[in-house]
Structure 1
Amino acid sequence: MSLAYRVLIRRRYPGNIRATMTLKEAQARVDAWISQFEEGYFPPLLNLARLIEEVGEVARVVSHQNGKRPKPGEDPGDLGLELADVLFVLICMANRDGIDLEAKFEQVLEKYRIRDSERWTKKSS
């Protein structure tokens, strides 16, 4: 996403930017936005292609930040915005299939807590 486009978004939608929201709120906001269009959510394979594309953009930014320099005139990108693009597509995928990401994220955190309880060295308090 170009710098000019990011600036345009911030100027055009300043009231829509919030500091925090729950996953449930994010899912509701995405659903409200998508639901206003006749086309609705993209089919699963198209969403998967979009997800892969967005993850590729994350990889490009990480590469620019940690190794390969951008070409002259090439936008180095904004890692936070690229990660948010990934989150948007993930939310679209979850919403389309009726998945409560907040509940599933709690389940995955518990899975890691149990599975990895003895895997890593804990910090001293």
Structure 2
Amino acid sequence: MDNYISQYKEGYFSPLALMARLTEEVGELAREVNHYHGEKPKKASEKENTIEAELGDIIFVLTCFANSLDIDLSESFQIAINKIETRDKDRWTHKD
């Protein structure tokens, strides 16, 4: 991602702009989920989008956000997994 962004003079957007963009993308994901799994079918005039595409957009923005703040997203994810594996280890019923 950094190689891609680094080829442009503008570089990464500011953290505030990235937060706004992430919010937009999550809203677009919510709309698609509602169309396919909720009670709001898509209008015939609406463009075709997919949940897969919206998730990809979110991953793109999250990666830009992390890189712009010099945060290792892999480390962030590992911290989250460790927290879930310790804090939530007995929260749900295990399968046999």
Q: Same fold (TM over 0.5)?
A: yes
Unaligned runs of 5+ in 1: 1-29
**Normalising to structure 1: TM-score of the pair?**
0.73
Q: Where do residues 3-14 of structure 1 align in structure 2 (5 Å cutoff)? A: none
CA distance in 1, matches of 2:87, 2:64: 29
Give how far 1:76 is off.
4.2
TM-score (norm 2): 0.94
In structure 1, give the amino acid aligned to 2:32: V
Q: Which structure 1 residue ranges, 4+ long, deviate > 4 Å from structure 2?
A: none
Which structure 2 segments of 5+ residues have no match? none
Conserved? CA contact 1:41–1:92, under 8 Å: yes
Among 23, 32, 55, the residue aligned to 2:3: 32
Shift of 1:33: 0.7
Query: Across the two proteins, how many residue pairs are aligned to each other?
Result: 95
Q: Matched residues in 2 for 1:44 and 1:100: separation? A: 15
- 1:48 maps to what in 2? 19
* Aligned Cα root-mean-square deviation (Å): 0.9
Structure 2 distance, partners of 1:100, 1:109, is: 14
